[in-house]
Amino acid sequence: MAVLVTGGAGYIGSHTVAALLERGEDIVVVDSLQQGHRSAVLGGKLYVGDLRDADFLEGVFAENDIDAVIHFAANSLVGESMKDPGKYYHNNVYGTLCLLEAMNRHQVGKIVFSSTAATYGEPENVPIGEHDRTLPTNAYGETKLAMEKMMKWFDIAHGIKYISLRYFNAAGAHESGRIGEDHQPETHLIPIVLQAALGQRPHISVFGEDYDTPDGTCIRDYIHVSDLAEAHVLAVGRLRGGAESAVYNLGNGQGFSVKQVIDIAREVTGRDIPSVVEPRRSGDPAVLVASSERARTELGWNPTRNKLEDIILSAWKWHSSNPQGYDD
């Protein structure tokens, strides 16, 4: 039996493929390479194509003995989603519909889903629990919530069990140094800060310092990508064991402001990283910090790479040895 990993050539997907390969799993990756990289896929069978291409997807399910799916493929940029929500509904929501329909046709009854802290919007409580209100402040988060709700109805109607993992902010790189974060364009804070450290950007722009936080900049919960990858391995195991559908937050439980991230990156890299305060980025909640107690108790998840210094150091090793990212 194989695990189908959609978006497995992307950042978090490729680290999860690496973790599954370490467990001896058979892997089938589907990726359009609109963002991902062929060389990020360290093993398994790679099909290059789009989830929304029904014939293509049908072929993948017909050719492989798939028992579980991990669904990373999506567009995921908050700012872009505010300017072009249609792109997000089409790729994220319609893409997930195509996938669930193919799973139903082929009687594949297990899916682990990449959800996000952006489903919550401005939180009611800090840290955020899974039962807290979901009221996204951006179109990206709204599409992820719609995808979660779609999976709920496919469970009720067709018995497809899902585990939705609401990640907070993924960061860092694989300890082997072989894979890391390479988005084009890059919009995430930590890689941009490190590009500024490398002199590839003149400075880091701080998007707003008038938030209701101690230093006025947004607070996020950064979690190492390899710890996220481990949670997917556990989630597949739990579904294979017959678990019911569930939603889990995945974060560190500790928040860092944009300015704190920049300060830690200065210490880790030993580089002067110039910063410039700019207006707020549309759609950003002020504070997003997770309670991941449920994932710890029910999934048995035990993130071990918790220090932000170490997370940034692992990212720095990748960026400084691969300043142009992947070769392709």
CA atoms within 13 Å, Cβ hemisphere of 243: 19
Three-state helix/strand/coil letters over 133-149 = CCCCCCHHHHHHHHHHH
Catalytic residue among 11, 140, 162, 222: 140
Q: Which token pair is 48?
A: 């290059």
CB 287 within 8 A of CB 123: yes
The answer to the question of residue 281 lying near ligand UDP (CB under 6 A) is: yes
CB nearer to ligand UDP: pick between 112 and 258: 258
CB 280 within 8 A of CB 197: no
What is the distance between the alpha carbons of residues 241 and 188, in angstroms, rounded to a whole number? 36
Phi-psi category of 321—alpha, beta or left, where left has phi over 0 and alpha has psi -120 to 50? alpha
CB nearer to ligand NAD: pick between 109 and 141: 141
Partner from ligand UDP, ligand NAD, none contacting 9, C-beta within 5 to 8 A by type: ligand NAD
- Give phi and psi for 257, each to the nearest 5: -80, 165
What is the distance between the alpha carbons of residues 168 and 117, in angstroms, rounded to a whole number? 5
Closest by CA to 209, choosing from 264, 279, 262, is 279
- Give phi and psi for 287, each to the nearest 5: -135, 130
Partner from ligand NAD, ligand UDP, none contacting 12, C-beta within 5 to 8 A by type: ligand NAD
CB of 12 to ligand NAD, least distance (A): 4
Stretch that binds ligand NAD, among 8-16, 59-67, 289-297, 315-323 (CB under 6 A): 8-16
Partner from ligand NAD, ligand UDP, none contacting 220, C-beta within 5 to 8 A by type: ligand UDP
- Find the binding residues for ligand UDP in span 108-167 (CB under 6 A): none
The yes-or-no answer on residue 140 being catalytic is yes
Residue nearest to ligand NAD (CB): 10
Stretch that binds ligand NAD, among 1-9, 256-264, 265-273, 295-303 (CB under 6 A): 1-9
- Find the binding residues for ligand UDP in span 183-242 (CB under 6 A): 187-189, 192, 204-207, 218, 220
What is the distance between the alpha carbons of residues 236 and 109, in angstroms, rounded to a whole number? 11
The answer to the question of residue 289 lying near ligand UDP (CB under 6 A) is: no
What are the C-alpha distances in Å from 269 to residues 96, 187, 319? 40, 20, 11
- Find the binding residues for ligand NAD in span 62-101 (CB under 6 A): 72-74, 76, 91, 95
**Residues found near ligand UDP in the complex (CB under 6 A):** 78, 169, 187-189, 192, 204-207, 218, 220, 258, 281, 284
Please give the residue ranges that form the binding site for ligand NAD (CB under 6 A).
6-7, 9-13, 30-36, 50-52, 72-74, 76, 91, 95, 114, 116, 167, 169-170, 183
Q: Which residues are catalytic?
A: 140
